[in-house]
Amino acid sequence: MSALEAEYRLDYFEENDFVRRECPECGAHFWTRDHDQELCGEPPCVEYSFIDNPGFEGEYSLEEMRENFLSFFEENGHERVDPYPVAANRWRDDVLLTQASIYDFQPLVTSGKTPPPANPLTISQPCIRMQDIDNVGKTGRHTMAFEMMAHHAFNTREDVDSDEYAYHGEVYWKDETVEYCDEFFTSLGADPEEITYIEDPWVGGGNAGPAIEVIYRGVELATLVFMSMEADPEGEYELKDGNRYSKMDTYIVDTGYGLERWTWVSQGTPTVYEAIYPEMIDFLTTNAGITHTDEEAALLHSASKLAGHMDIDEAEDMESARGEIAAGVGVDVSELEALMEPMEAVYAIADHCRTLAYMLGDGIVPSNVATGYLTRMVLRRTKRLCDTVGVDAPLDELVDMQAERLGYENRDTIRDIVRTEVEKYRETLERGGRRVEQLAQEYAERDEPIPTEELLELYDSHGIQPDMVEKIAEEVGASVEIPDDFYSLVAGRHDAGEAMRDTEERDERVAELPDTEKLYYEDQTRTEFEAVILDVIDRAEGFDVVLDQTMFYPEGGGQPADRGTISTDDGSYAVSDVQEDEGVVLHRVEEEPEKGALVRGRVDPERRQRLMAHHTATHIVGHATREVLGEHIRQAGAQKGVESARLDVRHYDRIGREQVKEIERIANHLVRDNVPVTEEWPHRNEAEAEHGFDLYQGGIPPGERIRLIHVAEDVQACGGTHVSRTGDIGAIKIVSTERVQDGVERLTFSAGAAAIEATQETEDALYEAAAVLDVSPAEVPGTAERFFEEWKARGKEIEALTEELAELRAGEGEVVELGEATAVIQRLDADSDELRATANALVGEGKVAVLGSGADGAQFVVAVPDGVGINAGEVVGTLADRVGGGGGGPPDFAQGGGPDAGKLDEALEDAPDVLKRVLNA
């Protein structure tokens, strides 16, 4: 029994003659106008009834249905809001991708800290659900990319203070929401008797509330969620997840109408894909040369229809249901599979291309982390699908077809990224293919199967799917066994070492203090101020001073804290660090000043100036980088300093030297233009409407008003301190670029005086090199190259001379006759190369060589010609032992030595005896 039963007793249901029923199959409670209805109306209790039997008066395309929905709610008092990016990690750090329209407003709006862009509002939000990736194309109804059409209303209880939350009062609640739903259905010509409202309380992410599933002709077309509770151990409601919840001050209408499903129902096609991607499917089937006879087409149609009637929720269900379907349409399973599989691939390609268009269009750059990695996975999967089904159109063209349809303006960049990625993938496959081939050959020769361990490494370290290994291995004749739990074995390699997250508890004493007034926003060039000490907190190291107002900038937004002094009548205190704790600024000093004292604060002006210059320069470099590399450039992190600053940007390639120069040119041009740097505090909704999401390069601040910094055309939400005109920066010098991750480039640069210092450092290195070579700086590259070439030539010459010398020396040593063999024992103080060469020369003459050198410790080389029964390694071992070392090597050529050069001669004198002893031993 639902704990929320009373929540569903709506006046609207009462007034419109609805009845509440319990489904005898699944036990769900539902509301309907049809007094004879018994079942809940949803699979598995009932089957789809809209296939080949469209549910509305007209057929709609995706675009038409979207417009229909948005304008319906617009006419009903809702403001239309532009969709948010699919990369939800741009405004929240708990998820990567946008999976529902409500994601757009979490957590700042739903918690009441920030007002919604409009209230009530309607939106059609593109979403991506990676969880469904295996089902796409197969089940007939799953897509990875979809649009969630929605209307939202944000309410607060009347009895809370009107200024406690960013919105106040009730806009509308349950009755109106259901009424809108009913009306939207009837506006499309649907029969209200066929609509079922199922009670299905919703729980998720610490929030909960009553919710209603809206079913029409067997398919769920909308979910109406009434978010109104939060997790609370003391709460009065216990919900289906076993936790207790209590009512919140805010309550939010969160609806979701699946655009694809509505479009599908309006057309009544066997699968959702045919309804939403008709042109793309035509293009792909033609391109891949897939043709069907009328008979085959009819077969496919009825097979898909049959599948549609079943409750197929997973690709696996599909596979097991195939037999049943084949029997249903009266053909062989294999015949059916041969027909369906290429079409499933085509459906998936269409869907994946749309997913990619969303991801890349919203500025995600493929990489090996986060959303970038997901994008890369989808892209590679799509490419594989294209290859297996025989689509030979370039992938960038396919993605572009979707990007065009979705109205993206950065289509050239999207294509460029796709091309780069496809090329990278091709290289990976080529590299991997060679590797597998080699490995497979090795195991084929030994007649062993390729072990699982190798498969794991191939996948984990080299990105080669096991089935690809199988294919290649087959060609070479090696066997492979892929364990069923392969992917969990992979997971096992990634030891889940949960990192400890230290949660800092807020100091209660600080919490009671009023927010510090921030003077640094009033005049960023002033460095002196007066204030009163409100409190002094004893810390493990020093004291934190809280003032009523301050000029000191606390560390934040990648800008380090100011330093300086605060002075009272009793003395002066050096401020070594400044931090902010929810509005209260803490000044770290070593000695304890008196609470309540009047102080004069003085910020280190030189440091502040340099930090401001670097901060403004960071905006300028970001702007210049975007101009040079493209609109997709987005900040991935930044850190400002006194000597230099760094800016990490997302980009799909390395930044070349020419591009660095161009960025530097544009940045410095902006500096020379000496444009004013201005700030404003607009309402966030106006700011977003005017500048879009790119405002938030360094994260999203809460609150109704946000601070914007303008530098020429560049606008960013930013809390840092800035110079007043770009000319104050003086100059910007990019010192280095590095690839900090795949898809993230780090630009390190210096501004102002630091720029000159950085340039001087580089020049010093050049001048020093020039002085060493005794040439002018301009001649350094040429000279260095010449020296390097000459050095290499000389090395070769030495090698040749060493060999010549060795031949000449070869006769100089003491000759010892050992029966049929002759040995030469010789001391020559030279390096090991020379010893080796001499030994080789002696062996060339058919003699055993025993050579010793005292040039660097004691070294031996012993070489034995073919057919002489002496183990060189053994000889060296014995000799080296005498000089306190060791040695060894193959029987015909051994080396060794030791530190005690004084015993070298002694050892060599014993050599004849050693030789005789080991001869034929």
Partner RNA sequence: GGGCUCGUAGAUCAGUGGUAGAUCGCUUCCUUCGCAAGGAAGAGGCCCUGGGUUCAAAUCCCAGCGAGUCCA
Closer residue to RNA, CB minimum distance, 249 or 803: 803
Which string of x and - marks every residue 788-827 that binds RNA (by CB under 7 A)?
----x---x-------------------------------
- Residues 786 and 774: their CA atoms lie apart, in Å, by 13
Which string of x and - marks every residue 342-381 that binds RNA (by CB under 7 A)?
--------------------------xxx--x--xx--x-
Residue from 492, 596, 676, 888 that binds RNA (CB under 7 A)? Answer: 888
Query: What is the smallest separation between the CB atom of 43 and RNA, expressed in angstroms?
Result: 29
Residue from 428, 479, 576, 579 that binds RNA (CB under 7 A)? Answer: 428
Closer residue to RNA, CB minimum distance, 39 or 95: 95
Beta strands 564-567 and 549-550 are: unpaired
Query: What is the smallest separation between the CB atom of 789 and RNA, expressed in angstroms?
Result: 8
29 has binding-site annotation:
no
Which string of x and - marks every residue 834-853 that binds RNA (by CB under 7 A)?
--x---x-------------
Q: What is the dihedral of CA 410, 412, 416, 417, to 10 degrees?
A: 20
* Closest listed residue to residue 21, CA positions, set 196, 222, 248: 196
Which string of x and - marks every residue 637-666 that binds RNA (by CB under 7 A)?
-----------------x------------
3-state class of 188 per DSSP?
coil
**CB of 306 closer than 8 Å to CB of 329:** yes
226: contact with RNA by CB under 7 A: no
897: contact with RNA by CB under 7 A: yes
- Residues 848 and 149: their CA atoms lie apart, in Å, by 89
205: contact with RNA by CB under 7 A: no
User: Token digits for 584?
Assistant: 């209260």
Q: What value does the CA radius of gyration of the chain take, rounded to a whole number of Å?
A: 38
615 has binding-site annotation:
yes
- Residues 65 and 78: their CA atoms lie apart, in Å, by 17
**CB of 854 closer than 8 Å to CB of 823:** no
- Residues 249 and 239: their CA atoms lie apart, in Å, by 19
Residue from 477, 596, 846, 899 that binds RNA (CB under 7 A)? Answer: 899
User: Token digits for 528?
Assistant: 């002196």
**CB of 597 closer than 8 Å to CB of 567:** no
User: Token digits for 415?
Assistant: 């294509």
Q: Which residues contact 612 (CB under 8 A, 6 or more apart)?
A: 524, 720, 721, 722, 723, 728
* Closest listed residue to residue 510, CA positions, set 586, 566, 578, 576: 586
Q: What is the dihedral of CA 697, 699, 705, 708, to 10 degrees?
A: -30
Query: What is the smallest separation between the CB atom of 461 and RNA, expressed in angstroms?
Result: 4
* Secondary structure of 74-102 as H, E, C letters: HHCCCEECCCCCCCHHHCCCCCCCCCCHH
Residue from 749, 842, 895, 904 that binds RNA (CB under 7 A)? Answer: 895
State which of positions 457-516 bind RNA (CB under 7 A): 457, 459-463, 487, 490-491, 493-495, 497, 499
Half-sphere exposure of 442 (CA within 13 A, CB side): 9
User: Token digits for 811?
Assistant: 């006769």
Closer residue to RNA, CB minimum distance, 282 or 427: 427
84: contact with RNA by CB under 7 A: no
- Chain-centroid distance, C-alpha 475: 36
885: contact with RNA by CB under 7 A: yes
619 has binding-site annotation:
yes
* Burial of 667 per CB tally in 10 Å (0-12, 13-18, 19+): buried
Closer residue to RNA, CB minimum distance, 756 or 772: 772
26 has binding-site annotation:
no
Contacts with RNA: how many residues (CB under 7 A)? Answer: 56
Distances, alpha carbon 828 to alpha carbons 168, 230, 500, 837, in Å: 97, 88, 63, 12
Query: What is the smallest separation between the CB atom of 894 and RNA, expressed in angstroms?
Result: 6
Query: What is the smallest separation between the CB atom of 658 and RNA, expressed in angstroms?
Result: 16
Query: What is the smallest separation between the CB atom of 18 and RNA, expressed in angstroms?
Result: 43
Outline where DSSP puts E strands in 210-337. Answer: 211-216, 219-231, 237-238, 244-258
Closer residue to RNA, CB minimum distance, 33 or 882: 882
Closer residue to RNA, CB minimum distance, 290 or 370: 370
Query: What is the smallest separation between the CB atom of 858 and RNA, expressed in angstroms?
Result: 8
- Of 17-25, 82-90, 276-284, 893-901, the window that binds RNA (rule: CB under 7 A) is 893-901
829: contact with RNA by CB under 7 A: no
892: contact with RNA by CB under 7 A: yes
867: contact with RNA by CB under 7 A: no
- Chain-centroid distance, C-alpha 758: 32
Residue from 738, 764, 804, 845 that binds RNA (CB under 7 A)? Answer: 738
- Residues 610 and 312: their CA atoms lie apart, in Å, by 63
438: contact with RNA by CB under 7 A: yes
**CB of 515 closer than 8 Å to CB of 584:** yes
235: contact with RNA by CB under 7 A: no
Query: What is the smallest separation between the CB atom of 715 and RNA, expressed in angstroms?
Result: 26
Residues near RNA, by CB under 7 A: 368-370, 373, 376-377, 380, 424-425, 427-428, 431, 434-435, 438, 457, 459-463, 487, 490-491, 493-495, 497, 499, 654, 738-739, 741-742, 792, 796, 836, 840, 857, 859, 863, 880, 885-890, 892-899
Q: Tell me the binding residues for Zn(2+).
A: 615, 619, 718, 722
Q: Tell me the binding residues.
A: 615, 619, 718, 722
